[in-house]
């Protein structure tokens, strides 16, 4: 697809109004193609003018406007000349299924050979399925008909009715943006239920039917509670009819909020016993996508520069709902350690951008802004807005906004006007400070004239942000102080604060977007104090401070590792212990240390995991994340080989195939397992998950032949989107002796070959591949030089450029850490 520029979209929107779509899809043919027929009715405000429609087909058998044949499309654009006041566009042809997660994605389940199809029309993928005017502000009702094999389940945005064997008619939808349109079809296993007059259904591949049945009650309970909560909060009933949730293979994102038919990556149907953190994350994603049914679907952004109207709000509501009604009061802590650390990294990097109103002159540039800023920073800023305005005023503004723009489009200005009217506060000034700036303030404790103070250090020029926060102090396993504050100056006196006598935690309830630097006394006593601090949010803020301190190169990774070794084995909450363990392995003990120190540091992480595991009951779900960390870091060959055989595992993991793959992957990366061992485990796990684990383990083998095979498959485009990301993410593993020498020649090849694979994998998938494969583990100036050469070349798509920029920033920070904290 060519870029769609904002000025082109605005001109097209000013010229035409789309009144209806009729789409017919025939999925009955064998092989890699399907047929699609689109009939689009639209009005032109100026007859005699021209515009264009979007379509990406292998072959068009018909393309007519008002009965007049059209010239073939050029670069995905179908020229429409001499428009009448009322127009009918009809396009029919053969289209290609994809393997990159966009358009109509076709996947064959290796477990049973069954075929599954799902539609992903975001961001510019709708023209790969049907001819359309593909931009978010040209909404229209859709009628969709589908022909499929007789034994398939078919669903989409409107209620689906099978009118004859294999023939399905979907009910006419309310006005939809084209990027929401989906059809899911295949021999899916299904569990159905009704709640409050809404027909609910969850679906997964037939080979996952048992797991779906076992987990459907939890999924549907979260769904039902979230519906009740949103009806109460928004004052508008769910407007899209049925509510399907499809857990589909090889999905690029976590989920997509298609009205009435949400698709999720099927890793959310857990193969083994899930951790509490995994259940919490699934609940928050379900609630996030449900919030979109109002904010994003009912009211849609006019152009991609207001994408925050979708994602920030849904992210905030997802965690709020999960904490309020879905039995996870620790949801905000999980967001802090998992999502906010992602957002902080994005916000200090070269690709940072404001939460709202980011320049998006074309649709692909907009894709680069679907990141930790649009999600976690935006959600955190909204949480801070609620803390300032009060919940009642915030919700009144939300209801007014949704009601005023129901089934239409809106902008940031519309949202702010609703908030200002509801609250009577100067929301525009707040937006200027929070939504239209970049970076995070840093909160720390110091002293002025001997008086303890809270110091707020902005990134660069002061943005005038006002923080509604709390400061807490802890000693001897107790909370000894807590101060609520409104911070609107660089220095805020705190004369009674126990600095130097307690662990002092700014932003202790984590209600604002700000990084925290701990004072020296707090850092010194953390190894003895951290695990006993009774407040979950406070411990999460401390762990995040350590992670971010290392990443910002203000904290020696050795000091963070010392705290980890002493405190993490006794961390009471697995909801934060799981993510902290992963980050410790790759931040405290990984790339921010020189090569020669990494083996011992990783060994200390493994020892901490062993101690934590020894202190847990065999059936405790917390043992799952701990065992995974141990499998990823230990060099205990006997333990890894035993676990790879499925022996001597904690009881909660006794039948867990994923832990076997984790152990085998580590053996492969250490040079202790070959392709025969991988093939043997693969034969016992003939699933898509097993296939992905096998290609990842194969790419980690530290031999010249194995690396060449993996590389050839990756750059030769012989892989699916998921396979490519897994190969890229495993390739630059330096665990085995001699790996550096083996991998260094591939650094140059990475920057010249991988970022140019969008033709093979699509822009969305390529972003994940470049991010996963960036050779950060080869932490050397030459790697940075080659990354800069790639950026200077200029021949990169927006997504590939963004990921290389972010990777280069991390690499330079790691190199700075080596230099600043050189071991004595």
Residue 479 is a catalytic residue: no
Compute the distance between CA of residue 357 and CA of residue 365 in angstroms, rounded to an integer: 13
DSSP-derived pairing of the beta strands 408-410 and 441-448: unpaired
The answer to whether 491 touches 455, Cβ cutoff 8 Å, is: yes
Residue 274 CA to residue 295 CA, distance in Å, equals: 30
Paired tokens of 216: 């459907």
Q: How distant is the alpha carbon of residue 726 from its chain centre?
A: 16
The terminus-to-terminus CA distance of the chain in angstroms comes to 55
Give the dihedral sign, CA 354/356/362/367. positive
8 A C-beta contact, residue 302 and residue 368 = no
| Rounded Cα–Cα distance for residues 649 and 653 (Å) | 6
Q: Helix 412-423 vs helix 308-325: angle between axes, to the nearest 10 degrees?
A: 50
Residue 247 three-state SS: strand
**Which tokens hold the place of 823?**
């071991």
- Segment (H or E) for 312: helix 308-325
578 and 277 Cβ atoms separated by less than 8 Å: yes
Burial class (CB in 10 A: 0-12, 13-18, 19+), 163: exposed
Beta-carbon neighbour count of residue 123 at 10 Å? 21
Contact residues for 657 (Cβ-Cβ < 8 A; gap 6+): 271, 272, 684, 685, 689, 690
Strands in 266-389 per DSSP E:
299-301
- Burial of 151: CB neighbours in 10 Å, binned 0-12, 13-18, 19+: exposed
Label residue 498 exposed, middle or buried (CB < 10 Å: 0-12, 13-18, 19+): middle
Given a contact cutoff of 8 angstroms between Cβ atoms, the answer to whether 127 and 93 are in contact is no
Grouping H, G, I as helix, E, B as strand and the rest as coil, residue 95 is strand
Are the C-beta atoms of 326 and 222 separated by less than 8 Å? Answer: yes
Calculate the alpha carbon distances from 814 to 100, 254, 779, 820 in Å: 32, 29, 7, 10
For residue 317, the SS3 value is helix
User: What gap in Å lies between CA 516 and CA 521, rounded to an integer?
Assistant: 15
The helix/strand/coil state of 4 is coil
In terms of Cβ atoms closer than 10 Å to its own Cβ (0-12, 13-18, 19+), residue 83 is buried
- DSSP notation for 768-782: HHHHHH--TTS-SHH
Nearest Cα neighbor of 367 from 803, 793, 775 is: 803
The DSSP 8-state label assigned to residue 502 in this structure reads: B
Burial (CB < 10 A; 0-12, 13-18, 19+), residue 730, is buried
Q: Which two tokens stand for residue 771?
A: 């991010």
DSSP class per residue in 605-626: HHHHHHHHHHTS-TT-THHHHH
CA-nearest of 498, 499, 121 to 297 is 121
Phi-psi region of 196 (alpha: psi -120 to 50; beta: other; left: phi over 0): left
List, in sequence order, every residue forming a beta bridge with 243; answer none if it has no partner: 200
Distance CA 716, CA 714 (A): 6
- The DSSP bridge pattern shows strands 408-410 and 243-248 to be unpaired
Indicate which residue of 250, 257, 278, 289 is catalytic.
Answer: 289
* Tokens linked to 676: 């025969």
Catalytic residues: 289
């Amino acid at each position: 697809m060519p870029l769609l520029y904002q000025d082109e979209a605005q001109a097209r929107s000013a010229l035409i109004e789309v009144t209806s779509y009729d789409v017919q899809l025939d999925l009955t043919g064998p092989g890699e193609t399907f047929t699609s027929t689109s009939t689009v009715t639209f009005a032109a405000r100026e007859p005699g003018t021209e515009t264009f429609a979007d379509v990406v087909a292998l072959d068009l058998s018909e393309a007519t406007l008002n009965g007049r044949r059209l010239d073939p499309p050029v670069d995905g654009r179908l020229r429409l000349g001499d428009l009448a006041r009322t127009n009918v566009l009809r396009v029919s042809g053969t289209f290609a299924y994809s393997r990159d997660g966009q358009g109509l994605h076709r996947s064959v389940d290796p477990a049973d050979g069954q075929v599954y199809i799902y539609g992903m029309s975001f961001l510019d993928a709708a023209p790969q399925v049907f001819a359309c005017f593909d931009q978010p502000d040209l909404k229209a009702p859709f009628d969709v008909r589908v022909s499929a094999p007789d034994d398939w389940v078919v669903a989409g945005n409107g209620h689906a009715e099978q009118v004859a064997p294999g023939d399905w008619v979907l009910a006419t939808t309310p006005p939809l943006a084209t990027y929401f349109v989906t059809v899911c079809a295949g021999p899916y296993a299904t569990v159905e239920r009704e709640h409050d007059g809404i027909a609910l259904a969850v679906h997964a591949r037939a080979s996952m039917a048992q797991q779906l049945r076992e987990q459907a009650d939890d999924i549907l309970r979260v769904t039902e509670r979230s519906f009740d909560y949103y009806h109460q909060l928004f004052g508008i009933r769910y407007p899209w009819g049925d509510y399907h949730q499809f857990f589909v293979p090889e999905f690029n994102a976590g989920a997509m909020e298609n009205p009435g038919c949400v698709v999720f990556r099927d890793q959310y149907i857990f193969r083994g016993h899930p951790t509490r953190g995994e259940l919490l994350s699934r609940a928050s994603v379900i609630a996030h996508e449900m919030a979109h049914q109002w904010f994003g679907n009912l009211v849609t952004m006019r152009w991609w520069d207001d994408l925050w109207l979708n994602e920030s709000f849904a992210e905030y509501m997802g965690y709020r709902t999960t904490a309020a009604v879905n039995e996870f009061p620790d949801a905000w802590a999980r967001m802090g350690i998992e999502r906010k650390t992602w957002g902080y990294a994005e916000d200090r990097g070269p690709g940072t951008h404001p939460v709202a109103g980011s320049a998006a002159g074309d649709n692909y540039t907009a894709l680069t802004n679907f990141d930790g800023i649009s999600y976690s920073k935006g959600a955190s800023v909204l949480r801070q807005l609620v803390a300032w305005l009060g919940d009642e005023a915030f919700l009144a503004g939300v209801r007014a906004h949704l009601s005023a723009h129901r089934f239409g489009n809106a902008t940031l200005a519309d949202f702010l006007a609703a908030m200002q009217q509801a609250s009577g506060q100067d929301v525009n000034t707040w937006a200027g400070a929070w939504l239209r700036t970049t970076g995070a303030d840093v909160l720390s404790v110091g002293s002025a004239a001997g008086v303890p103070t809270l110091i707020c250090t902005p990134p660069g020029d002061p943005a005038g942000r006002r923080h509604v926060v709390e400061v807490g102090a802890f000693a001897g396993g107790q909370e000894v102080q807590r101060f609520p504050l409104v911070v609107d100056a660089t220095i805020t006196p705190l004369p009674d604060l126990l600095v130097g006598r307690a662990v002092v935690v700014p932003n202790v309830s984590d209600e604002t977007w700000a990084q925290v630097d701990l004072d020296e006394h707090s850092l010194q006593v953390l190894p003895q104090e951290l695990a006993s601090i009774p407040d979950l949010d406070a411990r999460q803020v401390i762990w995040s401070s350590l992670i971010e301190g290392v990443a910002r190169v203000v904290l020696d990774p050795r000091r963070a590792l010392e705290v980890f070794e002493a405190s993490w084995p006794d961390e009471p909450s697995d909801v934060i212990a799981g993510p902290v363990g992963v980050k410790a392995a790759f931040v405290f003990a990984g790339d921010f240390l020189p090569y020669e120190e990494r083996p011992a540091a990783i060994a200390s992480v493994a020892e901490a995991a062993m101690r934590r595991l020894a202190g847990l009951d065999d059936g405790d779900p917390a043992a799952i994340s701990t065992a995974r960390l141990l499998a990823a870091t230990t060099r205990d060959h006997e333990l890894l080989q035993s676990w790879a055989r499925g022996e001597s595992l904690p009881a909660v993991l006794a039948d867990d195939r994923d832990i076997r793959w984790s152990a085998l992957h580590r053996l492969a990366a250490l040079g202790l397992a070959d392709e025969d061992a991988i093939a043997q485990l693969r034969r016992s796990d003939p699933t898509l998950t097993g296939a992905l684990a096998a290609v990842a383990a194969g790419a980690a083998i530290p031999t010249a032949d194995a690396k060449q095979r993996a590389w050839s498959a990756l750059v030769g485009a012989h892989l699916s989107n998921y396979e490519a990301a897994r190969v890229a993410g495993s390739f630059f593993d330096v665990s085995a002796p001699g790996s550096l020498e083996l991998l260094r020649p591939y650094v140059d090849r990475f920057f010249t070959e991988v970022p140019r694979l969008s033709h093979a994998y699509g822009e969305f998938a390529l972003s994940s591949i470049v991010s996963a494969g960036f050779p950060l583990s080869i932490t050397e100036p030459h790697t940075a030089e080659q990354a800069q050469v790639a950026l200077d070349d200029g021949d990169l798509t927006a997504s590939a450029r963004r990921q290389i920029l972010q990777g280069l920033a991390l690499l330079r920070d790691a190199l700075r850490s080596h230099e600043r904290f050189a071991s004595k």
